[in-house]
Amino acid sequence: MRSLVALAAWMWTLSALAGPQIGFWEQEGARVVFEKNKKGWSSRQIRVFTPANLATLSLKFERPDQWHAFFEGRSYGPVQTAVFPRYEFYAQSGLQKITRAPPAPFRTESEEFATGIKTKNLRPVLLTDQPVKDPEVWSKSAAAPKALKKAKDKFILLFGRGLDFAKDSEFQNKDPKRRLRAEDLRLQTVYRSRRGDELFSLAARFQDSFVRCSRTGVDCPIESKQWFLARQGQVTSLGDAVALIAAADADRDGKSEFFFFLNRNDQIGYALVPPNGKRLEFLWTDH
């Protein structure tokens, strides 16, 4: 477990402050999801599912128990938490209850964060075990046409194959010549950093036909938001996500990490994308 004294210089832990639609508490709570040590970032998601492991699982999430909420470039806090004595389900792993929190006027409701549970859809907020900043200063913006074109080209390159197009919902009247086109893609969200880098989310929105992936049993990714980072003339795919929760320098190396909210059918969770590292996910099943 994390020692607040011995490891404070080289370990960082991330959590998410979320409403009752994203977890198993009556009000709102925190979920410990990612950490970084000398080996790099890792997900706290549990991989070993046994009754014995479940019985002691909550002990692995006792610390940290004090956090700072990060929203739009500012840290708020402290947010104090306590682990539950015992988890009843693996989907509860990482959960902590809030024992003290600052006023949070940014905790607005949004259908973007709905999960199918009939309750308030409060936006998740990044929690860090130390105050952090966003040195790259990411904020919502308009898209630069050249970077947007590159992002659409990358989208088509990654997801344009293996699609069937038809003029009817039963796919009886297929159009074998139809291909995924740039005009099929709709810009959903744009963020720009102070130095001019851009973060896009794109999704397919078809006007003239239906579409599906030809691979049965696999979700078609093109109607979900796909995120792309345009930096120094290069466009990189960051994967799917419902929304960006925060861009923050969570490990204090001078570069911002991206923290996303995920919602895929029966799986909910978070993704962390370090500046030069591999995307990490923390997922659970909501039933």
pLDDT tens-digit map of 71-110 = 888 888 888 999 888 888 888 888 898 888 876 766 777 7
DSSP assignment, residue 120?
-
- HEC assignment per residue over 142-162: CCCHHHHHHHHHHHHHHHCCC
Mean pLDDT along residues 51-64 = 86
Q: Which tens digits make up the pLDDT trace of 121-170? A: 778 889 999 999 999 999 999 999 999 999 999 999 999 888 888 877 66
Given a cut of 60, is residue 25 above it in pLDDT? Answer: no
Given a cut of 70, is residue 21 above it in pLDDT? Answer: no
Given a cut of 50, is residue 4 above it in pLDDT? Answer: no
CA-CA distance, 176 to 96, in Å (whole number)?
Answer: 52
DSSP assignment, residue 182?
G
CA distances from 100 to 78, 91, 97, 105 (A): 8, 24, 9, 15
Per-domain residue ranges for the chain? Answer: 12-133, 139-239
DSSP assignment, residue 262?
E
- 253 or 4, which is more confident: 253
- Band the pLDDT of 5: cuts 50, 70, 90: very low
Q: Which two tokens stand for residue 142?
A: 């308009």
Q: What is the pTM of this model?
A: 0.88
**Contact between residue 160 and residue 42 where contact means Cβ atoms under 8 Å apart:** no
CA-CA distance, 263 to 260, in Å (whole number)?
Answer: 10
Q: Which tens digits make up the pLDDT trace of 257-276? A: 999 999 887 788 999 999 87
